[in-house]
Amino acid sequence: MSNVKRTLVISAAVVGAGAVGVLAGLLFAPASGAETRRRLGRTLESEAEVLRRKGRQALEQAAEAATHRIAEGTRKVGELIHS
């Protein structure tokens, strides 16, 4: 079997397995679509809050680092001027 055929067979198998998984998920889902959407919405809201918090922390750390570097640069310029 050539590499192209092998790739096509593997790709078809992966797509087929994915389709079977989706179908099985729909058939055996323990919650209704509305409940699943509510759960997904709550999870997304929670994850969005985590990302917002981490973003604020990263911004604060970057601001602190920038302030420190500016102060250090200002000090070094002052030393050069006064030497």
Identify the pLDDT of residue 35: 83
Q: What does the pLDDT average to over 51-73?
A: 92
Q: Where are the domains of the chain?
A: 31-83
Identify the pLDDT of residue 43: 85
How many Å is the Cα radius of gyration of the chain?
A: 28
pTM exceeding the 0.75 threshold for the entire prediction: no
In sequence order, the 6+-apart residues with CB closer than 8 A to the CB of 65 are none
